[in-house]
């Protein structure tokens, strides 16, 4: 029987592709190795597994009905999402393969309206993939795009847990390096069934993605996942985080996408990703105005840290960032990034105090406009807190009767608000 298919009478009724599930070898199954460990990158001299380790290990796999939604904690499954019918056409918005931990699947398929169609941008083909001189392939805008506009949305090729997890017990006597090599090996084995389930076009697209982990012991699939994964803060294992917060990194999932994963890094990004659970799709929206022909960028690391810390975070991707913010980094720009959130918070607070009495003096706007200029020069106008600053500036202009200026700044806030409203 071909893996991934059921030929039981149940399937004849459901007419769905089956999913695979694997049972744990012990209660250690799927536990983290010391949280989210730092994995090796670059060239690792010895990537071998210990000679007494059973390298023929692979997750035990059984097929089950893809319409099943509730699982115990001990199950790890691979499913096609949304379900794919054996005798029907594929979903017009595409399918993802998802390696999930038992109780997490129902968090998606139990949502009202699931599976919803993926959101569509107002214009088709708003971007194109092409070569860059120094970063491999990249994605470029084909038209002017306004902040907040949806550029594209897509179902990921693959979604897997972000945190590396031991899929079967790893003997305690091995060194941490060897334990990590084993964990990476198990990770590779655990995603093989998910990649096997892809159709030819999906598999081709997945295998064509960049891989900056060819010499550190990551297998070919896991290397692609490490290079291209986009963290999904709102899809994770365990208890749901409070509103507005993300799952902790070791419990989040990561998406590998045909288009989104072609977007290169910049510390001055112009794209924001969000994940819609009910349509199981990744949205890429403009986090600032983008001109036709400009390259799209998102940040692979937290941007509100110093250039040196960003460089450290980016090292596993095998490149040194040459964005203007990195090339022209100074202690002052490091400080601006470190203090960005605080400064915005202070401005908003101070302004709400001032608003209690009318504003007549245009010079009161100077510090606000100066901060806005610094923030924009540093590329931080792509951050979700920036519209709070533009709103304060809009209010100030309005109280001075400068309606045109006020509207220009207020529009940025409105566009961010409508982008946030679209998230689920
Ligand atoms: C997610 S992929 C991005 C798409 C990739 N350029 C491609 O050809 O498919 C990540 C890889 O792209 C390259 N990359 C991304 N951003 C870069 C940048 N700012 N400078 C140089 N290389 C970059 C690195 O090789 C990195 O490991």
What domains lie within the chain, and their CATH numbers? 9-317 (2.170.270.10), 327-421 (no CATH)
3-state secondary structure of 129: strand
Above 90 in pLDDT, residue 248?
no
CA 188–ligand 1 middle distance (angstroms):
22
Using one digit for the tens of pLDDT, what is the confidence trace for 70-82? 888 878 889 999 9
Atom of ligand 1 nearest to the CA of 321: 19
Is 321's C-beta closer than 6 angstroms to any atom of ligand 1?
Answer: yes
CB under 8 Å to 230, separation ≥6 — which residues?
156, 254, 255, 256, 257, 260, 261, 273, 282
Closest atom of ligand 1 relative to the 261 alpha carbon: 1
| Ligand 1 contact, 317 CB (< 6 A) | yes
Distance between Cα 422 and ligand 1 center (Å): 28
* pLDDT the model gives residue 4: 25
ipTM above 0.95, yes or no: yes
Atom of ligand 1 nearest to the CA of 265: 16
How remote is the CA of residue 377 from the centroid of ligand 1, in Å?
A: 23
- Nearest to 253, CA basis, from 274, 232, 268: 232
- With b for 16 or more beta-carbon neighbours within 10 A and e for fewer, the 79-97 pattern comes to bbbbbbeeeeeebebbbbb
Q: Is 135 in the pocket of ligand 1 (CB under 6 A)?
A: yes
Q: How far is the CA of 159 from the centre of ligand 1 (A)?
A: 20
Provide the pLDDT for residue 38: 76
Q: How far is the CA of 106 from the centre of ligand 1 (A)?
A: 34
Confidence check: pLDDT of 41 > 70: yes
Provide the mean pLDDT of the chain.
88
- Ligand 1 pocket mutation pick from 228, 319, 322, 379 by most atoms within 8 angstroms of CB: 319
Between 32-46, 84-98, 195-209, 247-261, the lowest mean confidence (pLDDT) is in: 32-46
41 lines ligand 1 (CB under 6 A): no
CB 390 within 8 A of CB 372: yes
170-189 pLDDT, tens digit each: 888 888 888 889 889 988 99
Residue found by looking up tokens 């084993």 in the block: 182
Residue 299 in contact with ligand 1 by CB distance below 6 A: no
364 Cβ inside 6 Å of ligand 1:
no
Instruction: Evaluate: CB of 270 within 6 angstroms of ligand 1.
Output: no
**257 CA → ligand 1 middle, Å:** 14
Cα(142) to ligand 1 centroid in Å equals: 20
- For 174-226, the DSSP string reads S-HHHHHHHHHHHHHHHHHHHHHTS-HHHHHHHHTS--S-SSSS--HHHHHHH
Cα 324 to ligand 1 centre (Å): 16
Alpha carbon of 374 to ligand 1 centroid (Å):
27
Residue 5 pLDDT > 70: no
* Cα-to-centroid distance, 153 and ligand 1 (Å): 20
User: What DSSP string describes 15-58?
Assistant: -B--EEEE--SSTTTTEESSSSPPPP-S--S--PPPTTS-TT--
Q: Is 262 in the pocket of ligand 1 (CB under 6 A)?
A: yes
Which of the four pLDDT bands, split at 50, 70 and 90, describes residue 23? Answer: low
Burial of 192 (0-12, 13-18, 19+ CB in 10 A): middle
Q: Backbone phi, then psi, for 31, in 5-degree steps?
A: -85, 150
pTM: 0.92
Q: Is the pLDDT of residue 42 over 80?
A: yes
Residue 358 has pLDDT above 90, yes or no: no
The CB of 265 under 6 Å from ligand 1? The reply is yes
Q: Is 137 in the pocket of ligand 1 (CB under 6 A)?
A: yes
For 287-305, what is the mean pLDDT?
97
Closest CA to 378 of 298, 267, 252: 267
Read off the pLDDT of residues 209-235 as tens digits, 9 standing for 90 and up: 999 999 999 999 999 999 999 999 999
CB of 212 within 6 A of ligand 1: the answer is yes
Q: What percentage of the chain carries pLDDT values higher than 90?
A: 66
Reported as a pLDDT band with limits 50, 70 and 90, residue 27 is very low
Q: How many other β-carbons are positioned within 10 Å of the β-carbon of residue 23?
A: 13
């Amino acid at each position: 029987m071909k893996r991934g298919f059921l030929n039981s009478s149940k399937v004849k009724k459901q007419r769905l592709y089956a999913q695979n599930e694997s049972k744990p070898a012990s209660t250690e199954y799927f536990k983290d190795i010391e949280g989210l460990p730092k994995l090796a990158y670059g060239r690792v001299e010895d990537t071998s597994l210990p000679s007494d380790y059973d390298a023929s290990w692979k997750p035990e796999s059984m097929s089950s009905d893809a319409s099943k939604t509730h699982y115990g904690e001990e199950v790890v499954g691979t499913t096609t999402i949304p379900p794919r019918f054996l005798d029907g056409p594929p979903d017009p918005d595409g399918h993802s393969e998802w390696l999930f931990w038992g109780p997490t699947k129902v968090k998606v398929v139990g949502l009202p309206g699931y599976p919803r169609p993926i959101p569509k941008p107002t214009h088709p083909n708003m971007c194109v993939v092409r070569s860059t001189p120094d970063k491999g392939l990249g994605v470029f805008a084909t038209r002017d795009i306004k902040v907040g506009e949806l550029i594209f949305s897509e179902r990921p090729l693959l979604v897997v847990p972000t945190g590396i997890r031991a899929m079967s017990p790893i003997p305690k006597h091995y060194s941490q390096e060897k334990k990590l090599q084993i964990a990476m090996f198990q990770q590779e084995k655990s995603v093989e069934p998910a990649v096997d389930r892809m159709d030819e076009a999906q598999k081709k697209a997945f295998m064509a993605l960049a891989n900056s982990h060819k010499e550190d012991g990551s297998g070919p699939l896991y290397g692609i996942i490490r290079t291209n994964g986009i963290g999904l803060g709102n899809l994770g294992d365990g208890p749901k985080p409070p509103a507005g917060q993300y799952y902790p990194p070791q419990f989040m999932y990561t998406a590998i996408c045909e288009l989104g994963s072609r977007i290169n890094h910049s510390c001055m990004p112009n794209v924001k990703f969000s994940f819609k659970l009910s349509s199981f799709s990744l949205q890429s929206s403009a986090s600032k105005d983008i001109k036709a022909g400009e390259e799209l960028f998102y940040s692979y690391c937290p941007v509100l840290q110093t250039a040196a810390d960003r460089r450290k975070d980016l090292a596993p991707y095998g490149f040194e960032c040459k964005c203007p913010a990195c090339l022209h980094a100074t202690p002052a720009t490091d400080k601006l990034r470190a203090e960005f959130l605080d400064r915005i918070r202070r401005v908003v607070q101070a302004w709400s105090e001032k608003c209690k009495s009318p504003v007549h003096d245009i010079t009161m706007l100077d510090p606000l406009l100066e901060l806005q200029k610094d923030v924009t020069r540093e590329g931080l106008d792509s951050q979700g807190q920036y519209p709070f600053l533009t709103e304060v500036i809009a209010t100030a202009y309005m109280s001075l009767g400068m309606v045109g200026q006020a509207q220009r700044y207020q529009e940025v806030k409105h566009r961010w608000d409508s982008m946030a409203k679209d998230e689920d």
